[in-house]
Structure 1
Amino acid sequence: MNKQSLLSAFRYAFQGLSAFIRTDRNGRIHIGAALLAVAGGFFFSISAVEWCLVLFCCGLVCCTEMLNHALEKLCDAVHPEKHPLIKQAKDVAAAAVLFASLISAITGLIIFLPKFISLL
């Protein structure tokens, strides 16, 4: 891969990220939650292992939401009218986001809840 194609790949990736942020409401919510988790990490001075878990969870949720968004757009372009298999594909992709979000929320509670309670 030459330097120009590598730069193009990064440019396309940032264009995709920009389109995702501009057009996906749930994506903006997940990014906002990730920023709150990072702020909480700084506030509570979490450990390196906790940082790894928080960042992994934030990345997991945002990535699954981006893949869900991409799959929805592809499905809409390929088969704009309602179809049971398209619905199932979209539902499963949404379930992946839900599952990642639930696991991340539980991880966040395990990390942050004891720290928050100790403030009270």
Structure 2
Amino acid sequence: MTKRTFLQSVGDALAGVSATWRTQRNFRIQAGLAAALPVGLAWLRPPLVLCVLCLVMAMLVLAAELFNTALERLADHLHPEHHPAIGAAKDCAAGAVLLVCAGAGLVGILTLVAVLADR
């Protein structure tokens, strides 16, 4: 295996994000919400720690979706026909995304409650 430069590695990572953007509707929705988040935070003006927590949760959602997509693509490539064990693995990955999304939603709701309670 050839040694890759940092910029080549970044390019590969961006290619993965781009491929996921093109093929995964949920990723595009989640990325749109993440892009709108700074505007909402600027409008609400919550404490800095809550801003950071919201932004970290948004990035975790996107990362979880990328991991899920990677696992699904690899599984589909290695075993194109349906297999119960592969289906279960894909379901677990999707469940992980769901849990991270639920956590992000909860953080968002609690941030909103905290901001409204201070007004």
TM-score, shorter chain, exceeding 0.5: yes
In structure 2, how many angstroms separate the alpha carbons of the residues matched to 1:38 and 1:90?
A: 32
Instruction: For residues 92-118 of structure 1, give each alpha carbon's deviation from its aligned partner in whole angstroms, at most 9, with x where no partner exists.
Output: 000000000001101100002453587
TM-score normalised by the chain length of structure 2 = 0.89
Corresponding residue number in structure 2 for 1:101: 101
Aligned-pair CA distance for 1:17: 1.1
Query: Runs of 5+ in structure 2 lacking a partner?
Result: none
* Residues 16-31 of structure 1 mapped to structure 2, 5 A cutoff: 16-31=16-31
Corresponding residue number in structure 1 for 2:75: 75
In structure 2, how many angstroms separate the alpha carbons of the residues matched to 1:8 and 1:72?
A: 24
Residue range with higher mean Cα deviation, 35-44 or 64-73: 35-44
- The Cα RMSD (Å) is 1.9
Query: Runs of 5+ in structure 1 lacking a partner?
Result: none
Corresponding residue number in structure 1 for 2:44: 44
Equivalent residues of 2:65, 2:97 under 8 A apart: yes
Equivalent residues of 2:46, 2:115 under 8 A apart: no
Equivalent residues of 1:30, 1:61 under 8 A apart: yes
**Misfit runs of 4+, over 3 Å:** 113-119
In structure 2, how many angstroms separate the alpha carbons of the residues matched to 1:33 and 1:77?
A: 30
Aligned-pair CA distance for 1:72: 0.5
In structure 2, how many angstroms separate the alpha carbons of the residues matched to 1:16 and 1:26?
A: 15
Letter in 2 for 1:40: G
Structure 1 vs Structure 2: percent identity of aligned residues? Answer: 35
In structure 1, how many angstroms separate the alpha carbons of the residues matched to 2:22 and 2:87?
A: 24
In structure 2, how many angstroms separate the alpha carbons of the residues matched to 1:9 and 1:52?
A: 27
Letter in 1 for 2:107: T
In structure 1, how many angstroms separate the alpha carbons of the residues matched to 2:6 and 2:36?
A: 32
Letter in 1 for 2:56: F
Equivalent residues of 1:64, 1:100 under 8 A apart: yes
Instruction: For residues 22-79 of structure 1, give each alpha carbon's deviation from its aligned partner in whole angstroms, at most 9, with x where no partner exists.
Output: 1111101111121232221111122210111011100111100110011110010000
